[in-house]
Amino acid sequence: MAENIGKLEHKIALITGATSGIGEASARLFAEEGAYVILVGRNEDKGQQIVSEIREKGGLSEFFACDVTDEVSVTALFDHVKAKFSRLDILFNNAGLLLTNPLEKLDTDEWLRIFDINTHAVMYMCRAFMDLLIKSHGTILNNASIDGLQSNVRGRSSYMYASSKAATIQFTQHLALNYSDRVRVNCLCPGLTETNLFTNRDFSRFNDTIPMGRVAKPIEIAKAALFLVSEDASYVSGSVFVVDGGASLASGNTPKPVETKGSE
């Protein structure tokens, strides 16, 4: 019987925001598919726990504590990856933050913070690792949101989150335009997903607003991410890949969020 070869066999993959939600599910899935996965985040205890569980199943993984909004920390991460591997095949910029407020309650510090995590960190990571990705003819996947595509997806108070995700989508497409002959660059746009972005975990409150009748599981988004970073998507670059159970088609029925304040 032929040996089962994973879709990411011998690849070096780095995932930010990898200690919960979509990032954690992707780290576990990428490792199952043969990648050596570098989990990046700030929760070292959780990160090391996930690494241990991946290794127990025969996977290859490590955790690197890094604040991706800090350029010095990103440089330290780059130095580590370059010294240890001399290349990077997959960069999944997944770290994210969700904050919502009406215009009159917008706080400047919160506005800057959400752009730091959702947009600036993506630029820092892509800028730092592009040469290593070019060396391996690798791929970049930036996690945005359907909120970055439409203004009425999450109600009328998503100024900060939607604006930061729209910027990430545009940044992704500009990267694809300029680098697709050397590095494939795509953007993942999930709909509502059961992650730590939401402090109110009663996800059933959204069911009636989604044509498929339920919120996504993190593994379902991770499987879409796997497709985009694998050779199955070898001719896909510049794509804005929506995974939302049809929610963006019915977004006019989406209620205002009860309380959505959290992070990956």
**Which residues are tagged catalytic?**
161
In the sheet that holds 184-190, the strands lie side by side as 60-65, 36-41, 12-16, 90-93, 139-143, 184-190, 240-243
In the three-class reduction of DSSP (H, G, I as helix; E, B as strand; rest coil), residue 61 is classed as strand
> What is the largest distance, in Å, between two alpha-carbon atoms of the chain?
65
Rounded CA separation 221/237 (Å): 18
178/109 Cα distance (integer angstroms): 32
Q: Count the Cβ atoms, other than its own, within 10 Å of residue 35.
A: 28
CA separation for the pair 14, 16 (Å, rounded):
7
Residue 78 backbone phi and psi in degrees, to 5: -60, -45
Strands annotated E in 147-196: 184-190
Which residue spans within the chain are E strands per DSSP?
Answer: 12-16, 36-41, 60-65, 90-93, 97-98, 139-143, 184-190, 240-243, 262-263
Task: Classify residue 158 by its DSSP letter.
Answer: B
Q: Which residues pair with 104 in a beta bridge?
A: none
The rounded distance, in Å, linking the Cα atoms of 180 and 182 is: 5
